[in-house]
Amino acid sequence: MSIRRLAILSSIPALLLGGFVLAWLAFIALGAASAVGSVEGALMAWTLAFVVGVPLALPLLALARFALFRIREKKSRHRDNPSPHRGAPMTHRKLPAAGRAASRSGSGARWLLASAALPLALAVAGCDSRAQDASAMPPPPAVSVATVLSKPVHQWDTFNGRVSAVESVELRPRVSGYVQRVAFDEGQEVKEGDLLFVIDQRPYRAALDRALAQLQRARAEAGLARAQDARARTLIEAQAISREEFEARKAASAQGEAGVRAAEAAVAAARLDLQFTEVRAPIDGRIGRAMVTEGNLAQADQTLLTTLVSQDPMYVYFESDEQTYLRYAELARKGERSRSSNPVRVGLANEDGFPHEGTVDFVDNQVDPTTGTIRARAVLPNPDRVFTPGLFARVQVQGSGRFEAMLIDDKAVLTDQDRKYVYVLGADDKAVRKDVVLGRMIDGLRVVESGLAADDKVIVHGVQKVFMPGMPVTPQVIAMGAPAPSPAQAVAMQ
């Protein structure tokens, strides 16, 4: 076996032993980091593994290097003492070779002693550092704690919707003509019957006068026909006229009456046309901009003049998914939820929470098969004109009956990979970690389905100062959901 291979094989056990020690300490560090559950804890565990592992591994590596020096020394002696059959005297190279071997042996020993002393110095320095840190430990951090809030609540489901007017009108003229006057200010609120547009009335006044004249003519003709019919009745009794002439006068009287009624209808139509030249508001609401201004031609039933939308109340249309709709229907069958007039809460894009309240007054009669949703509608009062048609709205619908729930502030919840946990105040004012299962948000607080007790005090503000479980803290009691106390309040509470 060659000298190089012998050196490698001699150093393998020491290297394997050193690697095993480091791997074992790394495994301990990973376990400690998982138990602590925070980045700071993981760094502390890795630092501890390094401080302990390096002093254990360096002597093993030094032992391997010393073995390698010993093998090189034997190799040097072998070269300096050739075989007897070569005939070379030993005294010629003995002393220099021995000197070099002793020098190498001394160097290896010195390196071994230095390698062994280094971990000892590191350990002593670490002990001194830990002693100094222990003497200079900062005071426990100040945190705010709140007792878990337990109260009966309703479950609310959130949807997205759009605000829509209850009544929306597109105003178009009923008669053709040129716009003579725009009688409103764009964007103002109008009342039903207010004048909006005036179309040129002169042609329609002339048409009305013509119809009135025709009515007078028809009435005069009808009066003459009635008089002739009356005389014919007298003459037919005296047999002074023929039956044919009597029937002709009678028919003429009936035609005169019909002519009067036709003329009256023409007058009524002319009056309507004249009335339609004044476009008035059909509902109360807010008017839009004038699409046609003075001097422009407006075609009957075609030209859009303006739009008008009602203001109070307002609709909010939203769509519910199929699973939620089936859940609501099941609760209604069980009597745990009303089939109609369910309360809703609405919030706009710039509002926090859902400050507006209303009721559901309509649910569509079929589910849209393309989207798997069903449309519903809520009606809300709008006395302050907060809602405008087309606005985006967040809608909460009461989705369950009343039940008891434990609520905490969402700021107290921390995340460890796929787990959620909080710190609660334990014995001796130490932070204790508790894994929790969370539900949905209700009234600005998070529902805790499991993991906490009703009397637990949860660390809400200052939880980022807690680096590991068991860390001492200085608690300040506040109400659940309350803001963090100001520095002055914190000093007063202490």
Q: What is the mean pLDDT of residues 410-415?
A: 90
Name the residue with higher pLDDT: 147 or 1: 147
Q: Which of 459, 212, 174 is nearest to 301 (CA)?
A: 174
Name the residue with higher pLDDT: 211 or 5: 211
What is the rounded distance in angstroms from the CA atom of residue 220 to the CA atom of residue 344?
Answer: 69
Name the residue with higher pLDDT: 272 or 245: 272
C-beta pairs of 488-491 under 8 Å, 24+ apart in sequence: 490/142
Q: What is the mean pLDDT of residues 66-72?
A: 62
pLDDT at 134: 45
pLDDT at 319: 94
Is there a contact between 17 and 74 (Cβ–Cβ < 8 Å)?
no
pLDDT tier at 59, thresholds 50, 70, 90: low
Kindly write down the DSSP assignment for every residue of 379-438, as one continuous string: EE--TT----TT-EEEEEEEEEEEEEEEEE-GGG-EEETTEEEEEEE-GGGBEEEEEEEE
pLDDT tier at 73, thresholds 50, 70, 90: low
Q: Which of 395, 358, 324 is nearest to 166 (CA)?
A: 358
**Residue 43 in this model has a pLDDT that exceeds 60:** no
pLDDT at 356: 93
pLDDT tens string 305-333:
999 999 999 999 999 999 989 988 888 88
pLDDT at 232: 81
pLDDT at 46: 56
Q: What is the mean pLDDT of residues 459-480?
A: 88
pLDDT at 113: 46
pLDDT at 66: 60
Structure tokens at 132: 């100094």
**Residue 261 in this model has a pLDDT that exceeds 60:** yes
pLDDT tens string 137-178:
678 888 999 999 888 887 888 899 999 999 999 999 999 999
pLDDT at 112: 44
pLDDT tens string 199-256:
999 999 999 999 999 999 888 888 888 888 888 888 878 777 788 888 888 888 888 8
pLDDT at 36: 47
Q: What percentage of the chain has pLDDT greater than the value 90?
A: 36
Q: Where are the alpha helices (DSSP H) in 144-242?
A: 202-237
Q: What percentage of the chain has pLDDT greater than the value 70?
A: 70
pLDDT tier at 422, thresholds 50, 70, 90: very high
**Residue 4 in this model has a pLDDT that exceeds 60:** no
pLDDT tier at 53, thresholds 50, 70, 90: low
Is there a contact between 173 and 192 (Cβ–Cβ < 8 Å)?
no
pLDDT at 19: 61
**Residue 347 in this model has a pLDDT that exceeds 90:** yes
**Residue 378 in this model has a pLDDT that exceeds 70:** yes
pLDDT at 254: 85
**Residue 47 in this model has a pLDDT that exceeds 70:** no
Least confident of 94-108, 315-329, 423-437, 466-480: 94-108
pLDDT at 467: 87
pLDDT at 248: 84
Name the residue with higher pLDDT: 80 or 96: 80
pLDDT tier at 50, thresholds 50, 70, 90: low
pLDDT tens string 387-410:
999 999 999 988 776 778 889 988
CA atoms within 13 A of residue 64's CA, in its CB half-sphere: 17
pLDDT at 163: 95
pLDDT at 109: 46
pLDDT tier at 303, thresholds 50, 70, 90: very high
pLDDT at 153: 81
pLDDT tier at 357, thresholds 50, 70, 90: very high
- With b for 16 or more beta-carbon neighbours within 10 A and e for fewer, the 117-139 pattern comes to eebeebeeeeeeeeeeeeeeeee
**Residue 89 in this model has a pLDDT that exceeds 50:** no
Structure tokens at 49: 């593994």
pLDDT at 367: 92
Kindly write down the DSSP assignment for every residue of 309-366, as one continuous string: E--SSEEEEEEEEHHHHHHHHHHHHTTSS-SS--EEEEEETTSSS--EEEEEEEE-SS
Query: What are φ and ψ of residue 132, in 5° steps?
Result: -65, -40
Which of 24-38, 176-190, 215-229 has the largest mean confidence?
176-190
Average pLDDT, the chain: 78
- pTM, rounded to two decimals: 0.58
